[in-house]
């Protein structure tokens, strides 16, 4: 995976989360995910198709998802309901959208699928052969979001 394709996601994730949450958002160190490592409980999957192929998964716990949804909607969510799910999916949408704006400078021809939200305990993700996943951990100040990226040209 070329770092020039990763940087726009790192920047867009940091910028969008900072803009909307206005908490003390911090970027962690990027690292490679081990095969089959379990995820946190709420996963938003966005497919990438075109010259660049792969997917992005926004991985966070339900507790973090509820805190973020509560902050953005100005109301406390007792359950991870439709509005809370819509809020988290929309964040993924905004981050991928902002990344496109940044990546368009590279004249790459690709597009994103609409986000799909998956919840459950003991979720695992497996890449197909030759694909490795890079993780961008973001500490939002109210919980961690790991942005899990696997691309190939």
Partner 1 sequence: MAIVYDDDGLPTGRKVEGGNVKVLIIDDSQFIIKHLSQIFMSRDFEIIGTADNGKTGVELFKELHDKTDIVTLDITMPEMDGLEALKLIKTIDHNVAVIMVTAIGTAEAVKEAIKLGAKGYIVKPLDREKVIERIGQILK
- Nearest approach, Cβ of residue 63 and partner 1 (Å): 19
- Nearest approach, Cβ of residue 38 and partner 1 (Å): 28
- Nearest approach, Cβ of residue 91 and partner 1 (Å): 9
User: Rounded to an integer, what distance in angstroms lies between the CA atom of residue 97 and that of residue 116?
Assistant: 15
DSSP type of residue 105? G
Q: Give me the residues that bind partner 1 (CB under 8 A), please.
A: 16, 19-20, 72-73, 82-83, 86-87, 89-90, 93-94, 96-98, 100-101, 104, 112, 114
Block residue for tokens 């940091």: 14
Tokens, residue 23: 């908490």
Nearer to partner 1 (CB atom), residue 6 or residue 94? 94
DSSP type of residue 106? G
Judged by DSSP in three states, 37 sits in: coil
Tokens, residue 152: 């190939």
Nearer to partner 1 (CB atom), residue 46 or residue 57? 46
Nearer to partner 1 (CB atom), residue 33 or residue 55? 55
Nearer to partner 1 (CB atom), residue 96 or residue 140? 96
- Nearest approach, Cβ of residue 94 and partner 1 (Å): 5
User: Rounded to an integer, what distance in angstroms lies between the CA atom of residue 139 and that of residue 146?
Assistant: 9
Tokens, residue 40: 């946190």
């Amino acid at each position: 995976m070329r770092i020039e394709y990763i940087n726009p996601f790192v920047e867009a994730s940091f910028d969008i989360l900072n803009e909307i949450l206005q908490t003390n958002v911090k970027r962690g160190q990027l690292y490679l995910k081990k095969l089959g490592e379990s995820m946190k409980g709420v996963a938003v999957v966005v497919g990438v198709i075109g010259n660049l192929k792969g997917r992005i998964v926004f991985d966070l716990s339900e507790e973090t998802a509820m805190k973020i949804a509560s902050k953005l909607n100005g109301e406390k969510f007792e359950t991870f309901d439709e509005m809370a799910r819509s809020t988290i999916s929309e964040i993924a949408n905004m981050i991928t959208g902002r990344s496109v704006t940044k990546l368009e400078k590279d004249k790459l021809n690709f597009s994103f699928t609409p986000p799909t939200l998956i919840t459950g305990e003991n979720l695992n993700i497996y890449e197909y052969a030759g694909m490795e996943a890079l993780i961008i951990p973001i500490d939002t100040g109210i919980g961690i979001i790991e942005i899990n990226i696997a691309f190939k040209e």
